[in-house]
Amino acid sequence: MRSAPTILHLDMDAFFAAAEQAAKPSLRGKPVVVGGLGPRGVVSTASYEARRFGVHSAMPMGQARRLAPNAAYLVPRFSLYRAVSEQVMELLGRLSPLVEPLSLDEAFVDLEAGGTADDTASALAAGERLRRDIRAVTGLSGSVGLAGSKMLAKIGSEQAKPDGLLLIEPGTERALLWPMSVRTLPGVGPATGDHLRRAGMTTVADLAEAGEDELVRLLGKAHGASLYRMALGRDDRAVVSERDAKSVSVEDTFDVDLHDRVRVRTEVDRLADRCVERLRAAGRSGRTVVLKVRRYDFSTLTRSETLRGPTDDPGVVREAAGRLLESVDTTGGVRLLGVGVTGLADFTQEDLFAQAAADESAAAPHAPADVREREPAGAERAAGDGAVASGAAESGGGPAEAPDVPAERRFPAGHDVRHREFGAGWVQGSGLRRVTVRFEEPGSAPGRVRTFWADDPDLELSEPLPLVPAVAGQSSWPASRPKSRSESRSERDAGRSGGSGSGRARP
């Protein structure tokens, strides 16, 4: 524990939704919900305006629509969020070399290590300066907590939301913590909270009064002892700039249960390829392949296979995941699939590449070659015709008969587009082979709405625009970092397999 509040925790406010509001002038001050728009979609982030209706993260999207039927519902745009996150992390890096990112919108900073602060006054000045800089560079707001430990700094930023700063003076921790709910402490979720409540403990003060022995008896040695230390305000964890990932995984929930075994295998292959893309982007390889299957009755099964050595070869991961699928009964239907890799390393086992080549040379009995090589079914599923409930659309007219729309011409709600005549805008809604676009840009006045046929050659998906216009001679987005060897190799492989390099937004 430090004698000065030199550990800073930054948490951007309603990050995804706030970025969408900054990019879309017509949505400012209105309820915005970002997440999966399908019948089984889940809320990723809700703006503060939407939270007033009871909408919150991890809520089923159907429930959110019932609570806030007039909110704008948007598909996530991770290319935008990553670009803004890089701007924020660059500002944090100016404060200290010790920055520990927790996610795109959250990080710890050791101000003392950067020589930025060594007492209360200098820490407070650094926190206020950071908030001003974030607003100037990104147009967004972030909340800051300052304390002598990571736990208290994080609690401080949560208490400061939205758009605030809370400094917790060392020595005042217990006065702040003890009246709070036990759920305030890290690691106390709904199940642990209910368990403690049944034991008569609802506040942090109750935990401190119960003592370490009682908490160990209730929760086990590791968790009980850790919780007792936190209840006393003790946390000596250091800010770590490099955090090793323990696993890499991807998963998809399907709007309709999958019953066709070939389709299930095709989806597993697609997820395996996406998992390897993330693995290579991180410059890592892995030794254990994990398959996750959630069936029609919500029962969830996991299967794993440990290889001879670490690999980042998509063929090896696909084949291992396929073997694991053979041991799972999918007769009743599958609602979710996931593929992951654990046992990460910084090198690959070369003989596995030969194994992959040999495996791929022979057609697997459960997946004919024509199935394995075609574009996976459902790859564009999330880019379906989601509507945005943010006002009535003005029709721009169209031909008497709507043409067929190929999958690559679908326009996800909320994504950026550019029209040859009308310029930049975003997809307000799509369906019935039509696309409704609001033409406006960050910093502009709310724009007009027009509707086009989805096959209009003048309308194309485009890259997100910077939220804050660039200063003359400078770019609003951070300069791209050099590609690692694994990233370059991944891009080359995508080119060989027909992967798109056009920059078209993908679901």
Q: Does 106 qualify as catalytic in the annotation?
A: yes
Q: Which two tokens stand for residue 502?
A: 């056009």
Q: Which of 12, 101, 87 is nearest to 48 (CA)?
A: 12
Q: How far is 231 from 226, CA to CA, in rounded Å?
A: 9
- Angle CA 489–491–493, to nearest 5: 70
Rg (CA), the chain: 25
Residues 6 or more apart whose CB falls under 8 angstroms from that of 92 comprise 10, 99, 107, 109, 130
- What single DSSP character describes residue 395? P
Which of the following is catalytic: 20, 106, 173, 440?
Answer: 106
3-state secondary structure 75-130: CCCHHHHHHHHHHHHHHHHHHCCCEEEEECCEEEEECCCCCCCCCHHHHHHHHHHH
Sheet holding 99-103, edge to edge: 99-103, 106-110, 7-12, 142-147, 165-167
> DSSP for 456-478?
-TTEEE-PPPPSSPPPTTS-SSP
Q: Give residue 127's identity as a one-letter amino acid code.
A: G
437's enclosing H/E stretch is strand 434-439
Write down the residue that tokens 């046929």 correspond to.
Answer: 453
Q: Which two tokens stand for residue 406?
A: 């190929």
Q: Which two tokens stand for residue 93?
A: 């890096």
Catalytic residues: 106
